[in-house]
Structure 1
């Protein structure tokens, strides 16, 4: 696997991130809520995208995903979004990224890392392999936690 690094997002990443969302999660979104509605998804993206809160995942120097994570309360590091391009999924990028985020959480003084994942998202298997456990079912999502 090539090196995985992060860089801060910029406004210029807007269209890359929208396309990434469609490619990385489009099938899960459709399985959860029905056919992809470009107007709805663009509005969701418009409201969500704040470059200062997003990091771009670089694999071999090329943009291949995104992550949004931060300490949300004393002791809890929250990963609000991870999206990885389909062409690099399954190659260890997600595991490498998550291990780095767990290290960041520990260094920040967190005692737990939390995230929400759509119940139908295959990434849930990765989270479980890395030690995350379901702590609450909130259909169509589950909340998972890794105790540090």
Structure 2
């Protein structure tokens, strides 16, 4: 398995993160809402791009993904976003990241980890394999929970 590490995001990661989002979720976004609209997606990106809440996933020292996660309340650790570049998917990177997130959740005193996944996103298979269960269908998303 590759060396997987995290580093804080910076403003310089803006273009990388936009490109990553398009490469990882572009097909799912198009299948859910229709053709990719660069103007709309740029607006969406600028609205959520807060480097101080994002970590860049490094695989063998190279940027290959991102996570945005933290305590949502006293009992729940929420994964807002996780994106892994297609070229490193299916190589254990996501599983390694979730190990880190579960440890962080436990350290924060959380009793569960939650996330939302688009219904058409194949990442749902990973989450189910890791023990997440569907707790609500909020079309076009599914809310999933891992009880710790």
TM class by shorter-chain length?
A: over 0.9
Bigger CA drift: 131-140 or 100-109? Answer: 100-109
What's the CA shift for 1:106? Answer: 0.7
After TM superposition, list the pairs within 5 Å mapping 1:112-127 onto structure 2.
Answer: 112-127=112-127
What's the CA shift for 1:75? Answer: 1.1
| Structure 1 segments (4+ residues) deviating >2 Å | none
Partner of 2:71: helix, strand, or coil? strand
Match of 2:85 in 1: 85
Structure 1 length normalisation: TM-score? 0.99
Aligned: 1:146 with 2:114: no
- Equivalents in 1 of 2:111, 2:74: separation in Å? 9
The count of residues paired between Structure 1 and Structure 2 equals 148
- Equivalents in 2 of 1:95, 1:2: separation in Å? 12
What's the CA shift for 1:129? Answer: 0.4
Match of 2:74 in 1: 74
What's the CA shift for 1:72? Answer: 1.0
After TM superposition, list the pairs within 5 Å mapping 1:22-61 onto structure 2.
Answer: 22-61=22-61
Match of 2:135 in 1: 135
Aligned: 1:96 with 2:106: no
- Equivalents in 2 of 1:21, 1:125: separation in Å? 19
Structure 2 length normalisation: TM-score? 0.99
What's the CA shift for 1:3? Answer: 1.1
Question: Where do 5+ consecutive residues of structure 2 fail to align?
Answer: none
Question: Where do 5+ consecutive residues of structure 1 fail to align?
Answer: none
CA RMSD, Structure 1 to Structure 2 (Å): 0.5
Q: 1:95-119: CA deviations, max 9, x gaps?
A: 1101110111111111000000000
What's the CA shift for 1:143? Answer: 0.3
After TM superposition, list the pairs within 5 Å mapping 1:5-24 onto structure 2.
Answer: 5-24=5-24
Partner of 2:22: helix, strand, or coil? helix
